[in-house]
Amino acid sequence: MKRVPYLALVGLTALATAASAQLMGNGVYWHSGDGGIPKYTPKVDGNVSDLEAGGYHLSWKPSDIWAWGDKYGYTQDSDLISRRIRVYAIDVDNNLYLADGEDPAENGTDVDLTTNYYFSWDENNFYVAANNIDNHYDVVEDRTNGANDNAFWQRDTFWITFDLSDGTGANNTNNIVDFRAAPVNANDAAFSMQIQHFQDGTGTQINYGDDPDYFLGAQLFGGPNSTGYYLESSVPWDLIFLFDPDNRNRVGSGFAFRGRFIIPDPDGDNLYGQTYFGGDQTTIGTNNKWPRFILQEDLSVPTAVEESTWGTVKKLSQ
Ligand SMILES: [Ca+2]
Ligand SMILES: [Ca+2]
Ligand SMILES: [Ca+2]
Ligand SMILES: [Ca+2]
């Protein structure tokens, strides 16, 4: 990336000195460990403190992208002038959107969106919680032409794409599963949870409120809080493996899968911004390079980025 537009951004958004100091990149510590997800059964009730304490922590924010981009390189020229800014580092992507009514000084900063996700597992479920910093809670889409439960991009959404083949299969068939959750309670809205299974290149998306039984007992609690929003969810492995049942029995300690994340953040407008983790807009379908997660008995020890799988990927791309 050219230095000129970056310096322009500093002037444009008046980044604090503390944030600029992170751009040197030295000693960057990967917050997200080595991909080992601990076996832990939380109480799924909307109080995320148990998963915060007992789960695997995945976190990223715009200042991380600057730091990692400076250290490992940016994958495309950035566009810092348009309302939807673009900054792509190797496996994270920041194109947060400046919405009407949003403070321009906040857009694209850690105040706009800082993600904190927590994962655990047991024999029955994959568990996820979020406690995200966000400057606008978005759960109502554009209804000019009526309600649209499919418009996930117009709401704050957790979106993981599982590759159940651990990077060995295709990116558009039975091993690929999208799971999305909005920061609401499951019964509050049809769009509260969405799942999409792929088969022979075609995805089939189901919204929770259209067919709750399809979700096989999945739970979701969520809403706004003082710093942004939270959610806590259980996702049955039987649901995740619905189109890949022959591999359901692989779930257990040592089971590895790939996962990448898209987090929409429209901030009240109809055009969405988002960040990616595990890919950017040029590599989003490259499932054999998505971050790798491994189910294990205990919580893994956080690992410096250079020693992690993702660190290896970054080195390959330098
Ligand atoms: Ca809980
Ligand atoms: Ca924004
Ligand atoms: Ca935001
Ligand atoms: Ca938002």
- Write down the mean pLDDT value for the chain: 82
Residues with CB under 5 A from ligand 4 (ion): 134, 136, 138, 156, 265
Burial pattern 95-125, b for ≥16 Cβ within 10 A else e, equals bbbbbeebeeebbbbbbbbbbbbbbbbeeeb
Q: Give the ligand with the smallest distance to the CA of 128.
A: 1
pLDDT for 189-233, tens place per residue?
999 999 999 999 999 999 999 999 999 999 999 999 999 999 999
pLDDT of residue 315: 52
Closest CA to 259 of 172, 180, 166, 125: 166
Closest CA to 91 of 261, 242, 265: 261
In the chain, count H helices and then E strands.
6, 15
CB 257 within 8 A of CB 164: yes
pLDDT of residue 30: 43
**Beta-carbon count within 10 A of 54 CB:** 16
pLDDT for 75-129, tens place per residue?
656 777 777 777 776 667 788 888 888 899 999 899 999 999 999 999 999 999 9
Domain ranges in the chain? 3-316
First-to-final CA distance of the chain? 13
Question: Which residues are CB-neighbours of 11 under 8 A, at least 6 positions away?
Answer: none
pTM: 0.85
Closest CA to 113 of 92, 91, 94, 141: 94
Ligand 1 center to residue 48 CA distance, Å?
4
Q: Tell me the backbone φ, ψ of residue 56, rounded to 5 degrees.
A: -85, 135
Q: Which CATH number fits domain 3-316: 2.30.36.70, 3.40.190.10, 2.40.10.10, 2.60.40.1190?
A: 2.60.40.1190
Ligand 4 center to residue 254 CA distance, Å?
35
What does the block give as tokens for 306? 């250079």
| Rounded distance between C-alpha atoms, residue 300 and residue 87, angstroms | 30
Ligand 1 center to residue 105 CA distance, Å?
34
Ligand 3 center to residue 94 CA distance, Å?
12
pLDDT of residue 274: 87
Q: Give the ligand with the smallest distance to the CA of 113.
A: 3
Determine which of 40-44, 105-109, 179-183, 288-292 has the lowest per-residue pLDDT on average: 288-292
Segment 25-52 mean pLDDT: 76
**Alpha helices (H) along the chain:** 3-13, 17-21, 49-54, 62-72, 237-240, 309-316
Residue 285 scores a pLDDT above 80:
yes
Segment 28-45 mean pLDDT: 76
Identify the residue with better confidence: 306 or 244.
244
